[in-house]
Amino acid sequence: MILQRENKILRTKAKKVDDFKFPEIKTLIKKMAEAMFAEPDGIGIAAPQIGKSLRIFLVAKDAAVKNAEELRSSTSDVKSQKTSDVLPRKKEYLVFINPVIKNTSSKKGKDTEGCLSVRGYYGEVARPEKITVEYFDESGKKHTRGASGLFARVIQHELDHLEGILFTDKAKNIKHFPQNLKDEL
């Protein structure tokens, strides 16, 4: 179950992971992936969103390779389709443990964001277009990689979760679109 914005853990700075070999870390990562892929529009998830205040997040590999428009078009009509009509997503993801942004571009881009923990709300968020992030994977191996476009945006969004920040804290022009039309009637 993905926690919603009212939950206090989402407003708490997450704790650093000290022991990568701890068996609960692998179990947590599996639960995070299951929760993210259970949502048709899930492309990233942070540990606090499932109740664990640890500096871990996942990004769907789709988001790392597709641009925002391709991903948006592939997930936008999913809720209106029958489950049997939706093509299965590749359930592959990247794991980021104790991530730190080392560099950002001065150029910022604005795009619409939503969040699995703030369902039905969307707003425009300005973020650096390119970043360099340093992190550990689930085996404890250190990585440094650049990211741009949607991939950079998702990383920054998930890093905000680890700091207790929701996208609505930064967004302009926030709009509410109910998940279910019955909510409006």
Active site residues: 158
In sequence order, what are the residues at sequence separation of 6 or more whose Cβ sits closer than 8 angstroms to the Cβ of residue 129?
105, 107, 108, 109, 148, 149, 152
Distance between CA 142 and CA 47 in Å, rounded?
19
> Quick one: 19 exposed, middle or buried, by C-beta within 10 A (0-12, 13-18, 19+)?
exposed
In sequence order, what are the residues at sequence separation of 6 or more whose Cβ sits closer than 8 angstroms to the Cβ of residue 52?
28
Three-class DSSP category at 132:
strand
How many C-alpha atoms does 116 have within 13 Å on its Cβ side? 25
Phi/psi for 52 (5° steps) reads -115, 115
DSSP, residue by residue, 92-131 = -EEEEEEEEEEEE-S-EEEEEE--TTSTTEEEEEEEESEE
